[in-house]
Amino acid sequence: MMKPDLDDLPEELSDGAVLLRRALIGIGGGIVLIFLVGVIAGYASVVFEHGAPRLVDALIIGAMVLTGAALAYGMWRLWPRGVDGPIGPRVRSARKIFTTAVIASVVVGLVIGIAGGSESLFSNEPVSPGVAVLAIAVWIIIGPVFTWLWYQKIDEHEADAYRDGALVAVHAYIFITPAWWIANRAGWLPAPDTILVLLGVSLLWIIVWFRQRYL
Amino acid sequence: MKNRLKVLRAERDWSQAELAGRLDVSRQAVNAIETGKHDPSLPLAFRIARLFDMRIEEIFDDEA
Which whole-number Å values give the CA distances from A63 to A30, B29, B44, in the listed order?
19, 46, 54
- Of A132, A154, A176, the residue at which a domain comes to its end is A154
Sign of CA dihedral A55, A58, A64, A70: negative
Select the residue of B11, B22, B28 nearest A2 (Cβ to Cβ).
Answer: B11
Residue A127 lies in a domain: yes
Residue A9 lies in a domain: no
ipTM greater than 0.90 = yes
Spatial CB neighbours of A1, under 8 Å, sequence gap ≥ 6: none
Select the residue of B7, B16, B38 nearest A7 (Cβ to Cβ).
Answer: B16
Residue contact A84–B18, C-beta within 8 A = no
CA separation for the pair B24, A140 (Å, rounded): 31
A209 and A172 both lie in a single domain: yes
* Chain B residues touching A90 at Cβ < 8 A: 24-25
Residue contact B26–A89, C-beta within 8 A = no
Q: Is B29 on the interface with A (CB under 8 A)?
A: yes
Select the residue of A6, A87, A157 nearest B15 (Cβ to Cβ).
Answer: A6
A50 and A22 both lie in a single domain: yes
- Of A136, A154, A172, the residue at which a domain comes to its end is A154
- Of A154, A169, A185, the residue at which a domain comes to its end is A154
Residue A66 lies in a domain: yes
Residue contact B17–A86, C-beta within 8 A = yes
How does pLDDT run across A141-198, given as a tens digit for each residue?
A: 989 999 999 999 999 999 999 999 999 999 999 999 999 999 999 999 999 999 999 9
Residue A101 lies in a domain: yes
pLDDT for A4 equals 47
Q: Is A89 on the interface with B (CB under 8 A)?
A: yes
A96 and A148 both lie in a single domain: yes
- 3-class secondary structure for A82-107? CCCCCCCHHHHHHHHHHHHHHHHHHH
For testing the chain B interface, which of A5, A96, A160 should be mutated: the one with the most B CBs within 10 Å? A5
Q: Which domain holds residue A178?
A: 156-215
Residue A64 lies in a domain: yes
A96 and A145 both lie in a single domain: yes
How does pLDDT run across B14-59, given as a tens digit for each residue?
A: 999 999 999 999 999 999 999 999 999 999 999 999 999 999 999 9
CA separation for the pair A186, A179 (Å, rounded): 10
Residue A8 lies in a domain: no
Q: Which residue has the higher pLDDT, A42 or A166?
A: A166
A131 and A166 both lie in a single domain: no
Q: What pTM was computed for the model? A: 0.70
A70 and A92 both lie in a single domain: no
* Chain A residues touching B19 at Cβ < 8 A: none
How many domains does chain A divide into?
A: 3
Nearest residue to A61 (alpha-carbon basis) of A42, A34, A76? A42
Residue A3 lies in a domain: no
Spatial CB neighbours of A183, under 8 Å, sequence gap ≥ 6: A189
Is the distance from CB of A88 to CB of B24 less than 8 angstroms? yes
